[in-house]
Amino acid sequence: MMGRLFKSNNPLEPSKATLILTYCILIFWAIIVLFPIYWLIITAFKLPVDVASGPKYIPFVDFSPSLHAWHEMLLENDPEFILQPYSNTILVGIASTFVSLVFGACTAYALTRFEYRPKPGLIFTFILCVALMIGLIVFDVPWKFAVAIGIALYIIVAQTIGRRFKGRMNNNDIAFWLISQRILPPVTVIIPVYILFQQLRLLDTLVALIITYCAMNLPIVIWLMRDYFQTIPLEIEESALIDGASRYQVLAMIVLPLSLPGLIATSVIILVFSWNEYVLALFLTGAQTQTMPILVSAQNGVRGPQWWNMSVLVMLMVGPLLILTILLERYIQKGLLVGAVKG
């Protein structure tokens, strides 16, 4: 009897004992992952006395569910208390996701279908010119003049001594450099970003958040979509080009429809990043432009540790993302797994 549990008739199928052990591990891990969400939900329906009197786990057994926190957050407060940060979060999340997806997908497609051989010297010259523009703006030079000076200086250097720069980069080097920008923690650049938007008079605006989130999410879009575009057969595009289609028609009518699962998976990932981002929003927003993560964190300082009210706000914040992820699960799974096995 015991031998049958550990024996498998097919080498490609696990034994019964292996299946039992696998399911036990998966159930245990699912409980660990889902328990914080369960605790968040039941805390949102607890009275303050239930939260303060100790851990209570099961509704209608350990405590009686109540809508006290929901009534206090949604009805007793000014409607703008939640509506304004919520609308800011939606607007910034959708706008930054759309812009990042458009520019990132085009960049990823270019890196998979065209060969680039830029010189590192010209790239470093461009970075120095951008640093010069930022420095001029910091020293109260009008930003239009600063940008003009930076562009003119770069053109002069590129046309005069640019040919003497040695070395070439390929597409893989460019892709690695782009994704390396995402490794940099946002807190390391928050001070220059703050000063830059302050000088541009964009501080405490949603435009500043959208621009910053686009810069933060572009490397992720390029990284994911580049791997996805590489799985699309080049022969399909070549056939369309032979039939008279332009490169833009191939991209719009063939490549993008075929890459729809990858686009959906990537858009959900970067939407989650923008939706939950805290550090940049903390420095760049004010009372009228704050997002939901800032509103949630501010409750502890304003009201004290009222976990029942904070649980309501967190549920309102993460609820749409959970629903969206569940609805698009099929596309997300397909989009993330395509390209995992090549050959």
The secondary structure of 100-132 as a DSSP string is HHHHHHHHHHHHHHS-----HHHHHHHHHHHHH
Cα(222)–Cα(218) distance, integer angstroms: 6
Task: Look at residue 206 in the predicted model and tell me its pLDDT.
Answer: 93
Predicted confidence band at 210 (pLDDT cuts at 50, 70, 90)? Answer: very high
Range of 23-27, 73-77, 183-187 with top mean pLDDT: 23-27
Question: To which residue do tokens 């980069």 refer?
Answer: 169
Average pLDDT of span 57-62: 88
pLDDT in tens, 94-106: 999 999 999 999 9
pLDDT in tens, 330-343: 777 766 665 554 44
pLDDT > 90 fraction of the chain, expressed in percent and rounded: 30
Structure token pair of residue 191: 């001070």
Question: Which architecture does CATH list for 101-115+216-343?
Answer: Orthogonal Bundle (1.10)
Which one has a higher pLDDT value, 179 or 24? 24
Average pLDDT of span 271-297: 90
Q: C-alpha angle 279/282/286, rounded to 5°? A: 160
Residue type at 255 in one-letter notation: V
Q: Quote the pTM value.
A: 0.82
Task: Look at residue 16 in the predicted model and tell me its pLDDT.
Answer: 77
**Residue 322 CA: distances (Å) to CA of 84, 98, 169, 271, 314:** 21, 19, 41, 12, 12
Least confident of 112-116, 122-126, 301-305: 301-305
Average pLDDT of span 274-293: 90
Task: Look at residue 44 in the predicted model and tell me its pLDDT.
Answer: 92
Task: Look at residue 343 in the predicted model and tell me its pLDDT.
Answer: 43
Task: Please say whether the beta carbons of 101 and 259 come within 8 A.
Answer: no
pLDDT in tens, 223-254: 889 888 888 888 888 888 888 888 888 888 88
Average pLDDT of span 303-309: 81
Q: Where are the domains of the chain?
A: 101-115+216-343
pLDDT in tens, 83-92: 999 999 999 9
pLDDT at 63 over 70: yes
Task: Please say whether the beta carbons of 297 and 317 come within 8 A.
Answer: no
Residue 63's φ and ψ, nearest 5 degrees, are -155, 165
Task: Please say whether the beta carbons of 319 and 82 come within 8 A.
Answer: no
Task: Look at residue 43 in the predicted model and tell me its pLDDT.
Answer: 92
Element (H, E) at 138: helix 120-138
Residue type at 221 in one-letter notation: V
Which one has a higher pLDDT value, 181 or 33? 33
